[in-house]
Amino acid sequence: MLYNIFRNWNDPKTAIYTYVFWTIIVIMFGFYFNIFTKEFIRIGPAKKGEKPVMFMGQEIKTNKEICAIMLYSFINQLISNYNGSIVSPWRTNIIQDPKTDMINMSKKSLIYLTNLDNIFGWFNYIINLAMILTMEMQFIIPKIFASVIIENISNLRYIADKKFA
């Protein structure tokens, strides 16, 4: 396997399969060494005797609150991934590409937009970090689903006119 990794170093399949394999090993060790507690994989508010569900310093006690956070998690990830799938290529292929000599907006607008993306990206990052640090898989799963949805939409749009082997 190691030989194949080095032989196919620049192949996306090799990189992704290696990443998946490694992540599965880490998860298996996590379960084996009880790193993932029952609270980590629970759904709903804490039951009697369990560690309380905390989000941004607040104890979450009801299913309604759990559902609201899960819905927020899903919608926020949809919007974040949508923004990233548009803004990152724009920044790389238009703003930072030395071959691009014309940008279809004023310099002031460009600076304003990139600053908005940066500033609100930080706020979003802080909230996302708080969500991840809850160590509640029930808040992370909606983010995963939303991420897969937007990535597929974005990739399908990029490859719509391409031919495949």
Per-residue pLDDT band for 150 (boundaries 50, 70, 90) equals: very high
Identify whether residues 72 and 4 lie together within a single domain. no
Identify whether residues 49 and 123 lie together within a single domain. yes
Task: Give helix 107-133 / helix 137-158 axis angle, nearest 10°.
Answer: 140
CB 45 within 8 A of CB 66: yes
Identify whether residues 94 and 154 lie together within a single domain. yes
pLDDT of residue 5 exceeding 80, the answer is: no
Per-residue pLDDT band for 3 (boundaries 50, 70, 90) equals: confident
Q: Which of 36-45, 47-56, 68-77, 114-123 has the lowest mean pLDDT?
A: 36-45
Q: Domain tally for the chain?
A: 2
Q: Does 85 reside within a domain?
A: yes
Q: Which domain holds residue 122?
A: 40-158
Q: What is the 3-state secondary structure (H, E, C) of 39-70?
A: CCCCCCCCCCCCCCEEECCEEECCHHHHHHHH
Per-residue pLDDT band for 41 (boundaries 50, 70, 90) equals: confident
**What single letter denotes the amino acid at residue 89?**
P
Identify whether residues 60 and 20 lie together within a single domain. no
Q: Which of 4-8, 12-16, 24-28, 40-44 has the lowest mean pLDDT?
A: 4-8
Residue 153, helix vs strand vs coil: helix
Strands (E), the chain: 53-55, 58-60
How far, in Å, CA of 135 to CA of 41, rounded? 9
Q: What is the mean pLDDT of residues 26-55?
A: 88
Identify whether residues 120 and 153 lie together within a single domain. yes
**pTM to 2 decimals?**
0.82
